Amino acid sequence: MSVEKRVIKKYPNRRLYDTATSSYITLGDVKQLVLDNVDIQVVDAKSQEDITRSVLLQIILEEENGGMPMFSYEVLTQFIRSYGQAMQGMMGPFLENNLQLFAQLQQKMQEQTRAIYGDNTMLNANLWGEFMKFQGPAVQNMMANYMEQSTSMFLDMQNRMQEQTKQLFGGFGFPAYKQDGENDKDPS
Question: What confidence tens digit (pLDDT) does each residue in 5-15 have?
Answer: 999 999 988 89
What crossing angle do the helices spanning 27-35 and 52-64 adopt, rounded to 10°? 100
CA distance 8 to 10: 7
User: For residue 47, what pLDDT is reported?
Assistant: 96
User: Mean pLDDT across the stretch 44-57?
Assistant: 95
pLDDT > 90 fraction of the chain, expressed in percent and rounded? 30
**C-alpha to C-alpha distance for 59 and 41, rounded to whole angstroms:** 14
The Cα–Cα gap between 35 and 31 comes to 6
Selected residue with higher pLDDT from 130 and 11 = 11
Q: How many CB atoms lie within 10 A of CB 99?
A: 10
**Residue 55: Cβ within 10 Å count:** 21
Secondary structure class of 52 (helix, strand, coil): helix
Cα 49 from Cα 42, distance rounded (Å)? 9
Q: In this model, does residue 129 exceed pLDDT 70?
A: no
pLDDT band for position 140 (cuts 50, 70, 90): low
Q: Which ranges of the chain would DSSP assign to H, the alpha helix?
A: 27-35, 52-64, 73-82, 88-117, 121-134, 136-169
User: What is the chain's Cα-based Rg?
Assistant: 24
Give kind and range of the element (H or E) at residue 25. strand 23-25
* pLDDT band at residue 23 under the 50/70/90 scheme: very high
C-alpha to C-alpha distance for 149 and 146, rounded to whole angstroms: 5
Model pLDDT for residues 59-101, shown as the tens digit of each residue: 999 999 987 788 888 888 888 888 888 777 888 888 888 888 8
